[in-house]
Amino acid sequence: MLGLIKRNFKYLTTEGFTLLYKNMVRSQLDYCGSVWSPYRKGDIEAVEKVQKKATKILPQFKSLKKYEDRLRACKLPTLYLGRIGGDMIETFKIVTGIYDTVVSPNMLAAGSSYATRGHNFRRQKIRARYDLRKYFH
């Protein structure tokens, strides 16, 4: 998809590039992000590498050396932060009952009452024996 954007859109503005990138590339990178959430540093960097390459397409961003500066100029978050935000939104929807699904009590155990500081939405992290469940969000 990046090659398609680079080949067919020679004179892009920042807004046009951001719109194309979000619709064509980012949607594929975020696909099933809630199920397959990479937790190893190498996996995160491999997925993030695509966005790093994409931010170098526009000539006005080639002068910016740092990846963070290019993201700031495009007004894009990193893919990792996007996944964290998506996980937080989904958890909020499950806890507040917006979804009609039945969640097992072990999955989202409520925190102890003295540590909630005035609200009952605080969750307790369940300890895992194996890495398979440890990094599952």
pLDDT digits (tens, 9 = 90+) for 34-67: 567 777 888 888 888 988 888 888 888 888 889 8
Cβ 56 vs Cβ 62: under 8 Å:
yes
Give the start-to-end residue ranges of the domains of the chain.
2-134
pLDDT digits (tens, 9 = 90+) for 79-133: 888 888 888 888 888 777 787 666 655 555 555 555 556 666 666 666 666 665 5
- Given CA atoms 113, 118, 121, 124 in this order, what sign does their dihedral have? negative
pLDDT of 13 strictly over 60: yes
Within 10 A of 51 (CB to CB), how many other CB atoms are there? 22
What is the predicted pLDDT for the residue at 98?
83
Cβ 19 vs Cβ 39: under 8 Å:
no
What predicted TM-score, i.e. pTM, was given to this entire model?
Answer: 0.63
